[in-house]
Amino acid sequence: MAKITLEHLSKHFGPVIAVNEIDLTIEDGEFFALLGPSGCGKTTTLRLIAGLEKPTKGRILIDEQDVTALTPRERDVAMVFQDYALYPHMTILDNIAYPLKVRGVPREERVRRVREVAQNLQIGELLDRRPGQLSGGQQQRAAVARAVVHHPRVFLFDEPLSNLDAKLRLEARAFLKHLQREVGVTSVYVTHDQAEAMALADRIAVMNHGRILQVGSPLDVYRHPRNTFVAQFLGSPPMNLIPCRLHRTADRARLVASTFELDISFLQGRLPAGARNDMPIFLGIRPEHLTPVAVGTPGAIPGEVYVVQPLGAETLVDLLVEDTSVAVRLFTDEPPAQHGTLWVLPDIHRIHLYQESGEILI
C-alpha cells in the first residue's frame, strides 16, 4: 500500500495547460476517483502518477519518496487501460505473467502466481486462450489480473469499464470494489461517469479545465457542491438551477421569480454581507427534493409537464419553469399528465444558493 502526494503538479502541451497546479493527497489504501468531463485533465493526471508523462512543474511522491523522475517500473505501479492493452498474439497466461517475466521471476513461479490470481478472478479456465477469444468482461478481468499479479504499491485505472455493456459494467464495478477491499492497494480511478465514481470511491475529486474543483466523499460532494459545475456534474439528473433574484429587508429574505416566491428568512443570518438586494441568484435543488403539492401552495413552483419518463421504481418528470428545464424525481404509480401544470415544493432545508458567477453563496 502507498500514500500518493501531488504537489503543485502541472502539465503543459505547448500552449495547452492540461493539468494546472494540482495539490492532492491520496491516502494509504484509499480508493480514489478522478471525475470530470473529457479533456478536463484527469487521464493526464493519472499518466503523470504512472510516470507515462513528465510534469512541467511540481512533484509526485509515493510513500514520501519523490518519484517524479522515476520510470513507471521503478515506481512499482500497475495500470489498467480503457482498451485493456492485452497482447493479441499471447495467451492469457502469458499476458498476465508478463510483468513477472520482465522482473526476472522464474517460469515455474510465474505460472504458479498467474494460476492463483486467475482462479481468484474466475478466469482460471481461460488461460490457454488468446484475447480475441474472450468477451469484454473476461478481457477486463485478465487486464486486472495482470495488474494484480506482481503486488504493486498502486493500482491506476483509466476508465476500464467504458467498453462494457450496462449489465457487465455493473458486475465489473462490484468486482473491482470487492477486489480493492480484499487486496487493500491504494487505487486511483479515472472516469467521466459520476455514478461509477460515487459507487466505487472512498473519495472523489471533481476536475475541470485542469483544476480540481472539489474533493470529498461521494455523498459529501453530492450533498454540498461548491459551485454550479460540480452541482450539475454530479447527479442523474443533475441538480436543478433555477434563476431568480434575492429580495432582502432587515428582517426578511425571499427568492423571487416571475412565477413563484420562496421565503428564506431562516437563512437571513447566513447570508454574507455581499448578498445585496435584487442580486441574481441560482436556486439549486436536487430532483428528489421537490414534492408535488396542491395548486397555489405558498413557496411552490409551477411548471408545465414537458416530458414524463417512467423508470419502474421511479418516474422522472421534466418541467418547464419559464425557460428553465426542472427535473423532478417522483416515487409514484400515477405520473402527471403530459402538458399539464405541476406544482412542486422545494425542501427548503435542502436548497443551495449560487451566485451568478457559479460560486456557492449558501
Residue with the larger pLDDT of the pair 336 and 225? 225
Query: What torsion do the CA atoms of 102, 46, 153, 81 make, to the nearest 10 degrees?
Result: -50
pLDDT score at 160? 84
Q: Which domains does the chain have, with CATH numbers?
A: 4-233 (3.40.50.300), 240-355 (2.40.50.140)
Which amino acid, 269?
G
Number of Cβ atoms within 10 Å of the Cβ of 273: 5
Number of Cβ atoms within 10 Å of the Cβ of 248: 17
pTM of the model: 0.89
pLDDT of 120 above 90: no
DSSP letter at 337 equals: P
Considering only CA atoms, which of 337, 348, 250, 339 is closest in space to residue 298? 348
pLDDT score at 27? 96
How confident is the model over 79-83, as a mean pLDDT? 83
**Buried-state track 103-136, b at ≥16 Cβ within 10 A, e below 16:** eebeeeebbebbeebbeebebeebbeebbeebee
Residue with the larger pLDDT of the pair 28 and 178? 28
Number of Cβ atoms within 10 Å of the Cβ of 159: 19
Looking at every residue in the chain, the average pLDDT score rounds to: 91
Place of cell 490470481: 117
Number of Cβ atoms within 10 Å of the Cβ of 138: 18
pLDDT in tens, 291-350: 999 998 999 999 999 999 998 889 999 999 988 999 999 988 788 888 889 999 999 999
pLDDT in tens, 135-169: 888 888 888 888 888 888 999 999 888 877 888 78
Residues in the chain: 362
Considering only CA atoms, which of 112, 109, 117, 47 is closest in space to residue 77? 47
pLDDT of 255 above 80: yes
Question: What are the C-alpha distances in Å from 68 to residues 18, 98, 99, 155, 327?
Answer: 17, 25, 22, 17, 46
pLDDT of 58 above 90: yes
Question: What are the C-alpha distances in Å from 79 to residues 160, 195, 229, 260?
Answer: 10, 22, 29, 52
pLDDT of 234 above 70: yes
pLDDT of 250 above 70: yes
